[in-house]
Amino acid sequence: MQKTYDFKLYRNGTWIESLTGETDTIYSPTDGSVVGTVPIAGAVDVQAMLETATAAQKAWGKLPAIQRAKVLHAFCAEIRANAEELAQLITREQGKLLKVARFEVEVTCSFIEYAASHARHLEGDIIPSDNPDEQLLIHRVPRGVVVAITAWNFPLALAGRKIGPALVTGNAVVVKPTPASPLSTLALCDLAKKAGVPDGILNMVTGDVEVGKTLVESPLTKMVTMTGSTPTGQAIARSAANNLTHVQLELGGKAPCIVFADADLDQAVAGALHSRFDNFGQVCTCNERMYVEASVYDAFMAKFLAEVDKLKLGDPIEEDTDLGPLTEARSVTNLENLVAKTVEQGGRITRGGARPKGDAFAKGHFFEATIIEDVTQEMDIVHKELFGPVLPVIKFEGFDQAIAYANDCEFGLAAMVFTKDLSKIMRLHQVLEFGEIYINRGHGELHQGFHNGLKLSGTGGEDGRYGLDQYMEKKTTYLKY
């Protein structure tokens, strides 16, 4: 019998009961079994959490950054020592393939370690003054208390992505894990304690929208970093406005995947396939709409559909499974409605299109790998975020039409392009309205890059030195000597 996790709130290095006495149950998206329970916090719980973090941050922020980095490296050692249990938990609560969940645990550590590697590079500037016998000193200093709000598609990695840079720069953190899959994130708390993260520096609170709103609206919160939907991000920005709290938002996406006639078609098939069905399409940078140049459309689609046919839908624990369940039941309903609407508008389903039949899928949130052709640019499915294993495919004629179609979108997170033409490649960064552009490969950002959305896909950005800078304030001193 599998373990059931019963977590509490984590404040000041201790597990404590929520004052509300209310709890939320987490069910497996694979078979509906109970994975664990978490408390639903109230306003008093949140206030105590923020006060604790505010008090603890002062000493932590004064430590040399290299000492903070040593604690983070110890934290990663504890995570790796418990990697298999964490991976199994991710799979149970979120539905991710176990082999990919194991990779997510390692990515969590690499996010933290990358941030820790900057400990000796949190540099300011010395600038000449206009006045004699004077210099300008610009220091980078911690913001204070950072509230980190995560999403359910990568529950552990997104926590690491925020915890690492927040802590190495001297902030304290209050994490609000996603309500859909919070357990693996909460499991980090005991590991942090064992690694020597000081009490009060890493805290975790669970609950509903009101908990998030209370966290964001508090004057004790000096920064909010959030990954999630665009409507939620907009609500956070409004709630943070009264205190002018700094916000960093990574929001929705509707990434185009453009295949030009001069592309290496095998390379394009592999990239497009990975970028649609990775994590069952539940990735903000996924291939959400595919544009194929008309002259190679038939040849490309023959190869692409042959690869789609090889995908196995099943239990994410099994090694040969390619597609598992969607995390939330409402995602399946959303896909059903969008597929039906697309067919009504003239789209043609050439693969999948429905929930799979059979007892193995009856209790889970499963949906078939679905390809829809004869799609036109004005259809709803081209503009609404899918976040699942459904792909609309559109023909285009020439460079200008491809770019116009791609940019016809309220989101601007990521785009993928396959072409051998250097002229096209050099023009792409100028004309594509997306923060990340992948050329001749599928999606998948690197730590040293900058994960930055344009339009309604976010503000602030994460990763690399530009992302790390979000977690620090700048102070200028005019030094007369």
Distance in angstroms (rounded) separating the CA atoms of residues 51 and 3: 33
3-state secondary structure of 319: coil
Residue 62, Cβ density class (10 Å: 0-12 exposed, 13-18 middle, ≥19 buried): exposed
Tell me: do 118 and 16 sit in the same domain: yes
Give the tens place of pLDDT for each residue, 268-307: 999 999 999 999 999 999 999 999 999 999 999 999 999 9
Give the H/E segment covering residue 429. helix 422-431
Number of folded domains in the chain? 2
Is the per-residue pLDDT at 468 higher than 80?
yes
Tell me: do 33 and 79 sit in the same domain: yes
* pLDDT recorded at residue 1: 77
Out of 284, 328, 373, 436, pick the active-site residue. Answer: 284
Tell me: do 235 and 264 sit in the same domain: no
Kindly state whether residue 451 falls inside one of the protein's structural domains. Answer: no
Kindly state whether residue 387 falls inside one of the protein's structural domains. Answer: yes
Contact 279, 342 (CB under 8 A): no
Kindly state whether residue 219 falls inside one of the protein's structural domains. Answer: yes
Tell me: do 144 and 95 sit in the same domain: yes
Give the tens place of pLDDT for each residue, 197-216: 999 999 999 999 999 999 99
Mean pLDDT on 69-87? 98
At 183, the pLDDT band (50, 70, 90 cuts) reads very high
* pLDDT recorded at residue 340: 98
Distance in angstroms (rounded) separating the CA atoms of residues 178 and 227: 10
Task: Compute the mean pLDDT over every residue in the chain, rounded to the nearest whole number.
Answer: 98
Tell me: do 182 and 290 sit in the same domain: no
At 479, the pLDDT band (50, 70, 90 cuts) reads very high
Tell me: do 148 and 162 sit in the same domain: yes
* Long-range own/partner contacts, residues 373-378 (CB < 8 A, 24 or more apart): 373/301, 373/347, 373/348, 374/346, 374/347, 374/348, 375/342, 375/347, 376/345, 376/346, 377/405, 377/408
Tell me: do 195 and 320 sit in the same domain: no
Range of the domain at 163: 5-251+457-480
Out of 93, 104, 113, 250, pick the active-site residue. Answer: 250
* pLDDT recorded at residue 213: 97
Proportion of the chain above pLDDT 70, given as a percent: 100
Kindly state whether residue 452 falls inside one of the protein's structural domains. Answer: no
> What are the respective helix, strand and coil percentages of the chain, to the nearest 5?
40, 25, 35
Is the per-residue pLDDT at 332 higher than 90?
yes
- 108-89-199 Cα angle (round to 5): 60
Tell me: do 265 and 195 sit in the same domain: no
Kindly state whether residue 323 falls inside one of the protein's structural domains. Answer: yes
CATH code, domain carrying 267: 3.40.309.10
Tell me: do 306 and 435 sit in the same domain: yes
Tell me: do 384 and 402 sit in the same domain: yes
* pLDDT recorded at residue 172: 99
**Chain centre distance of CA 401:** 30
Give the tens place of pLDDT for each residue, 411-426: 999 999 999 999 999 9
Give the tens place of pLDDT for each residue, 352-362: 999 999 999 99
- Tell me, yes or no, if the pTM score tops 0.85: yes
Kindly state whether residue 340 falls inside one of the protein's structural domains. Answer: yes
Mean pLDDT on 373-398? 98
Tell me: do 245 and 311 sit in the same domain: no
> Does the annotation count 284 as an active-site position?
yes
> Does the annotation count 250 as an active-site position?
yes
Is the per-residue pLDDT at 218 higher than 80?
yes
CATH code, domain carrying 109: 3.40.605.10
Tell me: do 68 and 185 sit in the same domain: yes
At 47, the pLDDT band (50, 70, 90 cuts) reads very high
Kindly state whether residue 433 falls inside one of the protein's structural domains. Answer: yes
Mean pLDDT on 212-229? 98
Kindly state whether residue 278 falls inside one of the protein's structural domains. Answer: yes
Contact 381, 365 (CB under 8 A): no
